[in-house]
A and B are shown apart, each in its own frame.
Chain A
């Protein structure tokens, strides 16, 4: 590989030292070259780099990137090479009998040469099941994600974002409230800031995101739909410190990493959002702010971490006129976790203690606060061909109704109903699972995983128990072909339609939600680093908590649960139904042109009071395409398009003779939605730091996000015109430009 011209000056910092100080060489025709090899734009030493002189002498850098090479004096042509870096070729002038001290910096290879996203159905994860693994720097540069890795989930098979721009996801026909979010093993109420595009964790501290659309193993519990399992990384140890600053139009973030003596690694990150000036261009009454923070300290398998997230949406005056006071929606949560991971022979142990504070208040000032203490432990025993995994976890929580705006007149604390009731909650689970590896089943490798978990929920006078058995298998009849599948039960306590902090372990009298799901899929590896996977799934939902999207057109909707009141009663519907479909994924992971094409053909149905009908979230076709092209000069150009069938809604027909309206629920659909996102990244790498500039346009097509359907009141007839639905939506485009510096 030809070195870039400016690499020729890499040795500029080289200096001479006298042989007296370094010791004289035995051969008067030879000299010494000593120094270190670093990665460019950072203080990361490169271990294992090979230095080879054309005359044949060579050496390899140690763990600190140091080397010492004796060569023939004179002009020496050198090659420095290391995996993952562009090789450096240069000529050094080595004086006889002298030591020359140098520092070389290698340019990291363009990321296109490295493996990227992987669709993995097996691997070294702590969890079994079909999952999509998202890793590496590219997570931050996927177009349409606004730099937030969690947003990439929306582009994966099986996922529907029913209201584009809002981070609300429906997985395999379930409801948003049935999804589970885990961060470093902790259960967290949300992964996104509610009212803008960012995740609640600094993107660059995420080590991986695993997305399980369904049929996962028993190590995940208390969720009846998809699971997102994210992990942060410890502070890097390849240098004493790292830092990063990112500035965007609407927020700024900081990241600092330090390696302390004694093997202590400290990482701190945070973000502060200030989108109000942008929002004021649209509506001056609305103020929005958000922030998050993360602190992680690692030492010898012990990890202490603290993280939190805050969102505030203030509207100067509610249009209802119920109050003249400013109305505020406040959502925040904080977590403190102490975790230890050890390995003793064939036994792996992980134990964690978690404290949590959640707060949420709605516009009228009433809210709920949750204090929680959780613990979990899991043990994995590796035997010859069998891996046994068992664990327990639980949480004690205290919920209290709060009025965070004490001066609010005409407060409506009972509007939150059961959500705000003072109560203590106990949830706990235990699981056991075995994974049997069969090296040669019919001559080919296979694994079988079977397990069962039990989860107990208690609050007030109600106790619920769910027993969920699950089975998964993998089989590779050909080297490039793998077949996988599984089935099981996934139960969950009643949930709010949209996950919110402090809203859980409530209304247990509604009984457990239950999903019985099975899936079968295959993955084929193709030439040119292409792979294709297909998964068929079927899920049967019982007693799940659906949400009413169209309050007024709620003909044929199921009645609100009798035992609930307030908001929970408004938005919760207990229904049963089914979800089934086919997920296709084609992707290219390596090369200058990478990306994936994800298509989901699905059907989600509910048994409404007047019969079976499409779910409010049913969207038959969802197609996502992501393409990234690595251009010269470290330019990365990306595009993402999303095409999805519109959600169903209800249009009733008037009967003039009887004066009534009639019709089936969800008998029509919103318009098909198309969104195109574009992103361009450019990075300049200097000796000790790097500067990146990125420009992104979300929804360059200026498509309309429709969040609901209303029916007008006829001003003459004074009747609700269920035959004249009006779409409630907004057209939007979100340009983003930012600059990021790192060292």
Chain B
């Protein structure tokens, strides 16, 4: 039997013929993680980027292990929620440039801030810290700019309890609405970092103070610079309040769908009375379009509004200098604008597929079948997007299409995030159907047809201004991440 077994076993075999094109095979070995600067002290949450008071970027991440397991203390699963310790690290000039520098040099140049609090919120240039006083039943909200001394912080004392925090979005985040989510709440307030004025507004009748987001017809928006708060009451009455002095201007009865046009200091409303631009200061309405549309399709870009109506995508300049015009028959929403004004749109509504995926069209040419995260290359010569991304997760196949009518080229599979570098190479987190140590950050050079390792086990990254360095979130242990500062590889 043995004599029979051996030749038979030797004959057992399998063969494979695979003509499937592997997109840009990964070459080389993964670099050692120890070669990069590790910013965190213990496993951390994923990192975000703040801008310091001196304009330098700061990495911000929550560090977990301020206490012991089971004894409370402070860990943060996300960047802000339930985080008890925030670690800020200044990302100055790239220390990797120049001879004699390196990991040691990086450490020497680093500036760190470790801040403990009961909660955090990160907004552009501001770190909001919440500290609860269980005795006094108060909460102190402190606004801190990375790099500033504590004396420069601004603090506000609020009632204790869960609250809604909403800031202006020009980057400064120095004006905020604070709404205590408590049944006893009777008003909500607008605070300014400069303490110039505190606007207090009563809650409209019938509003559940614990669920303001569910109040039909009630909404408010801060202007980008925080100088104005526009409130739409359930009754339809719209009012613009100055956060500088508390003055108010009645804007009349308006439909509930509205956005702010910060460029023209106006409110854009969509309703049965059409698409209107209502100035925050004095002046008559500007009727941008005589009929309404689904406000979910409205996008503002480059001084114009884009929306879907009547089976077409429409464009109208926000200053009213031209009438609304149908620019793409069949268009359901704008995806992006090119550097030369090219309009890429989708014929799929944003709700058709999970994650807002859909097709992508440039004129009558279809660029994308069912993708998302479509962006123009920096020279406008190609578009990049995640194809076949109608998934419950956040991944797709990174695809490049040369304009105007190039064939799709797959650069990476199961890509979660990507950024194009100034030299047209593309950083991408691939092999990322879901987060794990198998995720990796690679750099793809489409022109050269190469793909190289940048950082293994990376689930996400942030490219620092100047594109010389990046911050990588690297899977560490079974829970939490290591935050690494990594130089962007130079082209070989």
Instruction: Please report A residues at the B interface, Cβ cutoff 8 Å.
Output: 322, 364, 409-415, 450, 452, 460-471, 473, 487-489, 491, 508-509, 511-512, 514, 516, 554-555, 559-560, 562-566, 569-570, 652, 654-656, 658-662, 713-714, 716-723
Contacts and interface: CB of A to CB of B under 8 A. Distances in A.
B14 to A, nearest CB: 5
B436 A562 contact: no
B336 interface: no
B205 interface: no
A656 to B, nearest CB: 6
B82 interface: yes
B247 interface: no
Interface of A is mostly: mixed
Q: Top 3 nearest A-B pairs by Cβ distance?
A: A660-B477, A718-B77, A559-B438
A468 B20 contact: no
A723 B25 CA distance: 38
Given A410-B353, A410-B354, A656-B65, A463 B4 contact: no
Most chain B CB within 10 A, of A414, A465, A516, A559, is at: A414
B480 A562 contact: no
A61 B318 CA distance: 102
A462 B392 contact: no
B331 interface: no
A559 B436 contact: yes
B69 interface: yes
Nearest to A409: B351
Contacts of B1: 471, 473
B480 A660 contact: yes
Contacts, number: 188
Contact of A509 (B8, B18, B355, B479): B18
Nearest to A412: B354
B8 A471 contact: yes
B20 to A, nearest CB: 4
Contacts of B64: 659, 717-719
11 contacts: A409-B351, A410-B355, A414-B391, A452-B8, A461-B21, A471-B4, A516-B9, A570-B434, A718-B75, A718-B81, A719-B75
Contact of B392 (A322, A511, A656): A322
Interface in B21-61: 21-22, 42-43
The range of chain B's interface size is: 35 or more
Nearest to B477: A660
Interface string B137-151: 000000000000000
B75 A414 contact: no
A564 B431 CA distance: 9
A562 B431 CA distance: 6
A658 B20 CA distance: 44
A463 B480 CA distance: 42
Interface in B390-405: 390-393, 395-397
Contacts of A462: 16-20
Interface string B346-365: 00000111110100000000
B390 A414 contact: yes
Contacts of B431: 559-560, 562
B458 to A, nearest CB: 14
Contacts of A470: 8
B13 A566 contact: no
B77 A719 contact: yes
Contact of B478 (A560, A660, A718): A660
A559 B390 contact: no
B433 A560 contact: yes
Contact of A452 (B11, B18, B81, B477): B11
A65 B11 CA distance: 57
Contact of A465 (B14, B65, B392): B14
Contacts of A658: 42-43, 477
B196 interface: no
Contacts of A460: 20
A415 B390 contact: yes
Given A411-B354, A467-B12, A509-B20, A717 B437 contact: no
Most chain A CB within 10 A, of B14, B391, B476, is at: B14
A250 to B, nearest CB: 33
Contacts of B5: 471, 487
Interface of B: 1, 4-5, 8-9, 11-22, 42-43, 64-65, 67-69, 72-78, 81-83, 351-355, 357, 370, 388-393, 395-397, 413-414, 431, 433-434, 436-438, 476-480
A510 to B, nearest CB: 10
B479 A461 contact: no
A467 B12 CA distance: 6
Contacts of B43: 658-660
A466 B478 contact: no
Nearest to B369: A414
Contacts of A654: 69
Contacts of A563: 22, 413
Given A410-B351, A717-B69, A719-B64, A661 B479 contact: yes
B12 A464 contact: no
B414 A450 contact: no
Contact of B14 (A450, A467, A569, A720): A467
Most chain B CB within 10 A, of A411, A452, A461, A717, is at: A717
Nearest to B42: A659
A573 B428 CA distance: 24
Nearest to B434: A570
B16 A511 contact: yes
A412 B391 contact: yes
A563 B72 CA distance: 42
B477 A661 contact: yes
Nearest to A463: B17
Given A410-B352, A463-B18, A654-B69, 14 more contacts: A410-B354, A412-B354, A460-B20, A462-B17, A463-B16, A466-B13, A469-B12, A487-B5, A564-B433, A565-B388, A570-B433, A652-B478, A656-B69, A658-B43
Nearest to B68: A656
A415 to B, nearest CB: 5
A563 B438 CA distance: 13
A461 B8 CA distance: 30
A155 to B, nearest CB: 32
Nearest to B73: A717
A473 B4 CA distance: 12
A618 B67 CA distance: 38
Contacts of A509: 18, 20
Contacts of A364: 354, 392
A59 B431 CA distance: 82
A667 to B, nearest CB: 13
B413 to A, nearest CB: 6
B202 to A, nearest CB: 33
A722 B479 contact: yes
B16 A512 contact: yes
Contacts of A559: 431, 436-438
Contacts of A662: 477-478
A465 B43 CA distance: 47
A545 to B, nearest CB: 15
A717 B478 contact: no
Given A412-B392, A509-B18, A469 B434 contact: no
A512 B392 contact: no
A626 to B, nearest CB: 34
A560 B16 CA distance: 21
Contacts of B8: 450, 452, 469-471, 487-488
A654 B75 CA distance: 14
A495 to B, nearest CB: 15
Contacts of A464: 14-17
A508 B17 CA distance: 10
A467 B353 contact: no
A219 B45 CA distance: 56
Contacts of B78: 718
A200 B465 CA distance: 62
Contacts of A473: 1
Given A488-B12, A652-B478, A415 B413 contact: no
Given A487-B5, A555-B478, A717 B391 contact: no
